[in-house]
Structure formats: C-alpha cells, structure tokens
Amino acid sequence: MMPVRVGILGFGAIGRSVVDSLLEHKEEFHLVGFSDVEQVDGTPIPQMPVEEMIHASDIVVEVASHAAVREYAVQIIESGTDLLIVSVGALADRSLEEKLLDAGPGNLIICTGALGGIDYIQAAKILGRIDDISLTSIKKPGVLSQPWMQDSMQEKLAAGDERVVVFEGNAREAAEAFPKSSNVSATLALTVGSWDTVKVRVIGDPEAKQTKHQIHLSGEVGESTFEVNSLPSTINPATSSVVPYSVVKALRTAHGSGYKIM
C-alpha cells in the first residue's frame, strides 16, 4: 500500500506537532509539504503555494484558522482532495457549512480534537431523541480573554485570582465568541446536528491545572456524562496537548492501514 500523500495547511504550534508525529510514520504517510501565510524557515518539509499543495495531496490537514477554512475548504474539496479540519468552529457560519455539505468529490473530515465520547453520542443520536446536551469547559483565566468582553471581565481574567463564568450560550454563539478555542463546542454541535441544542458554559479557573471539558447528555439512550481533563499545549496554552495526536488518529482512521476503530 502506497503512503497517503498529506499536505498541511498552517504551520503553527499544532501544525508543527502534527508534522513531527507524521514523520515518525513514513510507511503510512508521505508529507508533500505545507502552506502558511508567513514564510517559515528551517522546516523538515517544503513550504509551497496552496494550489500546488492541494493538487499534490490525497488529503489536506487544516491546522490554521477559521479564516483559512473559509478561504480554502470548498476549493480543496471540489478539487477531489479530502480535507480534515481542526478549526471546526468556522462551520458556525451557516453559509459556509451549507457550501461544504454540498461540495465534492473530496470528503470533509471533522477532527474531534480534545473531545471524548463522540462515538457514543453519534450512536445515541441514531438510537433516538436527544433531550438535552451541555458542554462545560474550564480553562486557566489568561487564555480566555477576548476583545468583545467588558473591561471588568478582562480585568478579572488578567488578575487570575478568582473563578469566573465568562460565557453561557449555544454552540454557535460559543464558536463566534471564542474563534481560537471553541472547536470542541462546534464538534459537539455537528455531532448532534444542531448548533442551538448544545448549551455551552465557559469558566476561567485559576486553580485549573488542566483543561476540562465535561459533556452531559440525556435522551432516549439514557443519561451520560463524559469528562476529559487534558494538559494544555506548552506552545499554545489555549489548546489541549492531545489535539495534534487526535489529527494523526483521524488520518489513520480515514486513510491508514490496519484496524479501523470507530
């Protein structure tokens, strides 16, 4: 079996970690190169124009930004190349989500990132009605500050000496409010097929040693709670350290050899 040709869109903290991990699996994946808005020197794989990378790849892994998804996702899928996205919150844009659902012949693959329990929730949705689903995310206060917040909230987060509820709303609102760190809520919304059903609460806690995501689900399947506590990335504390390896897992499930555990 020939190695799967992989292009990387974005070469920030997650992109670098994904590349390092994939280079350890050369028998399965061939990294054709990466594209980034900035020139990057001293990289283990070549930097190339987006169009060239797309046509050289069997699958493109997006680890860049919501803006990159908006600009290139449809083009990639319509070229016949598969696309795996990490910046899932970009799909909170209704128009973009509809375009991507209609696009082809390439496939759109959603990376679950730092979220657990997705396979169970997918099965629960097939079984029947989901009455209630909520996500509570707890992070260190310093990574949650956003330009839209009132000065008093910004000051509390900067001080980092008290537990603060910084957001309550649905998954679409969460994706718009936290464009760089709301991909878990977006993934959950896509899993249940409704951005409005998923209720999201974001908390800044100075005592948080890890990033916590807690999902509570009730419906015909019964009642379930999932909790994931993961260490923040040392390079980018706004994201979990497991995310790059979730990308590798998704690539292996979609295109790798061996067992397919889904």
- Which residues are annotated as catalytic? 213
Mark out the alpha helices in the chain (DSSP H runs).
13-22, 50-56, 66-78, 94-102, 118-127, 151-159, 171-177, 183-192, 243-255
Q: How many CB atoms lie within 10 A of CB 69?
A: 24
CB-count burial class (<10 Å; 0-12, 13-18, 19+) for 91? buried
CA angle in degrees (0–180, nearest 5) for 178-211-202: 40
Whether 258 and 161 have beta carbons less than 8 Å apart is answered as no
Whether 114 and 248 have beta carbons less than 8 Å apart is answered as no
Cα–Cα nearest to 134, from 158, 159, 168, 163: 168
Q: Which residues are CB-neighbours of 10 under 8 A, at least 6 positions away?
A: 34, 35, 36, 62, 63, 64, 65, 68
